[in-house]
Structure 1
Amino acid sequence: MKTQRRVSAAVVALLLGGAGIAISASPAVAAEATYKVKCVPPAGGGDPVEGETTAKITAPAAAKVGDEVDVVWETVKPASNNTDLMDIPKDAVQPTGWITLGGGMGELKVVGEKKNPPIPKKAPMVMSPMKGKLKLTKAGKITLTPGKYDVAVTFSFGTFVTKCAPVGEVKGGATIDVSAGSSGGTTSGGTTTGGATTGGSTTTGGSTTGGSTTGGSTTSGGSTTGGGGGQTDFPGKPVEVSFDCGPVVPGGIKTPVTINAKKNGGSYDLTVKTAKGAMAAPVPLPAGALKPSMDVKLGGADSGTVKVSGPANAEAIPDKGPVSLSDMTGTYKPGKTGKVTLSPDRLTIDVTMAAGSPPINVPCKAASSGVSLELDTTAQPGGSGSSTSTGTSTGTGTSGGLAETGAEDEGGIQALALVAGTVILLGGAVFTFTPWRRLRGTR
Structure 2
Amino acid sequence: MSAAGVALMLGGAGILLAASPAQAAEVSYRTECIPPPISGLPPVQGTTKVEITAPAEAKVGDEVEVVWKFVEAASKNPDIIDLEKDTVKPTGTLKAAGTQTADIAMEGPRTNPPIPKNSPMKLSDMKGKIKLTKAGEVTLTPDGYNINVSKPMSTDTKCTPKETVKSAATIKVSDGSGTSGGTTTSGGTTSGGTTTSGGTTTSGGTTTSGGTTTSGGTASGGGDGGQSDFPGKEVAVTFACKSPGPASINSKVTINAKKNGGSYDLVVKTAKGVMNSPAALPAGALKPSMAVLLGGVDKGTVPVTGPANKDPLEQGKPVDLPDMTGTYKPGASGKSTLSPGTLTIDVTLGGQKISIPCTGKGSAAVSLELDTSAQPGGASGGDSGGGTTSSGGTSTSGGLAQTGAEDNGALRALALVAGTVILLGGAVFTFTPWRRLRGIR
- Give the TM-score range, shorter chain: 0.5 to 0.7
Q: For each residue in 1:176-202, what CA deviation from the matched residue of structure 2 results, as whole angstroms up to 9, or x when unmatched?
A: 111112344443254213x64125xx5
Alignment of 1:33 onto 2:14: no
Q: For each residue in 1:81-108, what CA deviation from the matched residue of structure 2 results, as whole angstroms up to 9, or x when unmatched?
A: 2222322222222222111111251311
Residue identity in the other structure for 1:2:
S
Higher mean C-alpha displacement, 408-417 vs 419-428: 419-428
Distance 1:23 1:296, change over 3 A: farther
Distance 1:255 1:54, change over 3 A: closer
- Secondary structure class of the residue paired with 1:149: strand
Matches within 5 A, 1:88-107: 88-103=83-98, 104-107=100-103
Counterpart-to-counterpart distance in 1, 2:323 and 2:243: 14
Alignment of 1:251 onto 2:276: no
Residue identity in the other structure for 1:182:
S
Residue identity in the other structure for 1:59:
A
Does structure 2 retain, via aligned residues, the 8 Å contact 1:244–1:252?
Answer: no
Q: Quick one: which of 344, 348, 356 aligns to 2:318?
A: 344
Counterpart-to-counterpart distance in 1, 2:120 and 2:284: 36
Does structure 2 retain, via aligned residues, the 8 Å contact 1:240–1:254?
Answer: no
Residue identity in the other structure for 2:74:
A
Does structure 2 retain, via aligned residues, the 8 Å contact 1:84–1:122?
Answer: yes
Q: How far is the alpha carbon of 1:417 from its aligned partner?
A: 9.0
TM-score, with length taken from structure 2? 0.54
Alignment of 1:22 onto 2:16: yes
Does structure 2 retain, via aligned residues, the 8 Å contact 1:242–1:255?
Answer: no
Q: Which has the larger radius of gyration?
A: 2
Matches within 5 A, 1:284-433: 310=284, 328-330=309-311, 343-348=317-322, 350-351=324-325, 407=373, 410=376, 414-415=389-390, 420-421=395-396, 433=423
Counterpart-to-counterpart distance in 1, 2:110 and 2:52: 19
Matches within 5 A, 1:121-270: 121-156=117-152, 158-193=153-188, 196-198=190-192, 202=194, 206-208=195-197, 213=198, 241=205, 251=239
Does structure 1 retain, via aligned residues, the 8 Å contact 2:60–2:132?
Answer: yes
Residue identity in the other structure for 2:2:
K
Q: For each residue in 1:191-242, what CA deviation from the matched residue of structure 2 results, as whole angstroms up to 9, or x when unmatched?
A: 213x64125xx5xxx523xxxx4x5x7x9xxxxxxxxxxxxxxxxxx98657
Distance 1:423 1:179, change over 3 A: same
Gaps of 5+ in 1: 220-237, 258-291, 300-307, 314-323, 333-339, 355-359, 366-398
Q: How far is the alpha carbon of 1:29 from its aligned partner?
A: 1.9
- Secondary structure class of the residue paired with 2:154: strand
- Secondary structure class of the residue paired with 1:116: coil
- Secondary structure class of the residue paired with 2:17: coil
Q: How far is the alpha carbon of 1:252 from its aligned partner?
A: 5.8
- Secondary structure class of the residue paired with 1:328: coil
TM-score, with length taken from structure 1? 0.54
Q: How far is the alpha carbon of 1:36 from its aligned partner?
A: 1.2
Residue identity in the other structure for 1:328:
N
Higher mean C-alpha displacement, 422-431 vs 56-65: 422-431
Q: For each residue in 1:366-403, what CA deviation from the matched residue of structure 2 results, as whole angstroms up to 9, or x when unmatched?
A: xxxxxxxxxxxxxxxxxxxxxxxxxxxxxxxxx98989
Higher mean C-alpha displacement, 96-105 vs 239-248: 239-248
Counterpart-to-counterpart distance in 1, 2:128 and 2:94: 10
- Structure 2 equivalent of residue 87 of structure 1: 82
- Secondary structure class of the residue paired with 2:396: helix
Counterpart-to-counterpart distance in 2, 1:426 and 1:122: 30
Q: For each residue in 1:225-277, what CA deviation from the matched residue of structure 2 results, as whole angstroms up to 9, or x when unmatched?
A: xxxxxxxxxxxxx98657779869850669999xxxxxxxxxxxxxxxxxxxx
Q: Quick one: which of 18, 43, 49 aligns to 2:44?
A: 49
Counterpart-to-counterpart distance in 1, 2:90 and 2:44: 18
Counterpart-to-counterpart distance in 2, 1:416 and 1:107: 60
Q: For each residue in 1:47-105, what CA deviation from the matched residue of structure 2 results, as whole angstroms up to 9, or x when unmatched?
A: 43321111111111111111111111111022232222322222222222111111251
Residue identity in the other structure for 2:324:
D
Does structure 2 retain, via aligned residues, the 8 Å contact 1:34–1:172?
Answer: no
- Count of aligned positions: 306
Aligned-pair RMSD on alpha carbons? Answer: 5.1
Q: How far is the alpha carbon of 1:124 from its aligned partner?
A: 0.9
Q: How far is the alpha carbon of 1:346 from its aligned partner?
A: 1.7
Q: How far is the alpha carbon of 1:162 from its aligned partner?
A: 2.4
Residue identity in the other structure for 2:25:
A
Counterpart-to-counterpart distance in 1, 2:139 and 2:312: 55
Q: How far is the alpha carbon of 1:142 from its aligned partner?
A: 0.6
- Structure 1 equivalent of residue 72 of structure 2: 77
Does structure 2 retain, via aligned residues, the 8 Å contact 1:353–1:418?
Answer: no
Q: For each residue in 1:8-52, what CA deviation from the matched residue of structure 2 results, as whole angstroms up to 9, or x when unmatched?
A: x51xxx2x3151222232332211111111223343644433211
Residue identity in the other structure for 2:30:
K
Does structure 2 retain, via aligned residues, the 8 Å contact 1:105–1:189?
Answer: no
Residue identity in the other structure for 1:207:
T
Q: For each residue in 1:405-437, what CA deviation from the matched residue of structure 2 results, as whole angstroms up to 9, or x when unmatched?
A: 974655675216965428979979985647549
Identical aligned residues as a percent: 35
- Secondary structure class of the residue paired with 2:320: strand
Distance 1:330 1:47, change over 3 A: closer
Counterpart-to-counterpart distance in 1, 2:400 and 2:187: 46
Counterpart-to-counterpart distance in 2, 1:402 and 1:420: 19
Residue identity in the other structure for 2:158:
K
Q: How far is the alpha carbon of 1:294 from its aligned partner?
A: 11
Distance 1:64 1:326, change over 3 A: farther
- Secondary structure class of the residue paired with 2:150: strand
Residue identity in the other structure for 1:58:
T
